[in-house]
Amino acid sequence: MRIKCLIIDDEPSAQRVLKHFISEVAFLELVCTCNNAVEAMEWLNTKSEFDLMFLDINMPKISGLTFYKALQNPLQVIFTTAYSQYALEGFEVNAVDYLLKPFSFERFLTAVNRVVERQGTKGNHQPEAPFLLIKSNKTIHKVNPQHIQYIEAFGDYVKLHLKDQVIVTNSTFGSILEKLEPHNVIRIHKSFAINLTQMNRIEGNQVFLEDHRIPIGQKYKPEFLKFLNENP
């Protein structure tokens, strides 16, 4: 799956940031960059291959919000602006997200992840499994949470152990856990969290996931056992 993008922003510096961030994500494809809403309308009238627009709100002549509200068949949109007062109005038009300039690559990834989640749940067909975008060095990995066996705190890094690979990311253990919280991932040790769907058995103070043995910390054991009793 490739998401075809359109940038609409009158600031060259903002365009450069978005171009760079888009280039870092393998499944994003930048089709064109427009300096204002008039240019964008010309592109939209001649091509129908866009999936997503990064749209600046505060532009000359026609604001991004006015332009977007006028579209008959609006694309998914991520608004970008330096002015926080537009946030509420941006979400009122069902925007995917609202990026306040200057924004980080991690915040950009969060917004893009929301686009993918929406695409996976729209329509009447069986939705695609949700996934996370995990940055490891200069690579962006598309990770299905169901394929994670366990995660491990590793100094200033976190290791995501999948069946066929290990992804090391420069994120905090807490931030990864927060992303995985809805996906049956539970912390059982100060340095480990497991995917309950991958668990084979418990013996003493260890959880077995195929060939892996994960220790259960005394601090986390009561809550872990209580969770298992409540979710047999």
Residue 124 has a pLDDT of: 36
φ and ψ at 101, to 5 degrees? -70, 145
Both tokens of 221, joined, read: 């054991």
Cα(124)–Cα(6) distance, rounded to whole angstroms?
A: 27
pLDDT tens-digit map of 218-231: 999 888 888 777 65
Question: Under 8 Å CB-to-CB from 222, ≥6 apart: which residues?
Answer: none
What are 25-49's pLDDT values in tens digits? 988 999 999 999 999 988 888 776 7
Query: What is the average pLDDT across 169-184?
Result: 83
Asked if residue 203 has pLDDT above 50, the reply is yes
Q: Give CA 25 to chain center in angstroms.
A: 11
Using CA atoms, how far apart are residues 26 and 141, in angstroms rounded to an integer? Answer: 9
Omega of the bond leading into 102 within 30 degrees of 0 (cis) = yes
Going by pLDDT thresholds of 50, 70 and 90, the confidence category of residue 123 is very low
* pTM for the model: 0.56
Structure tokens at 70: 């006028």
The mean pLDDT value of the chain amounts to 85
Confidence of residue 172 (pLDDT cuts 50, 70, 90): confident
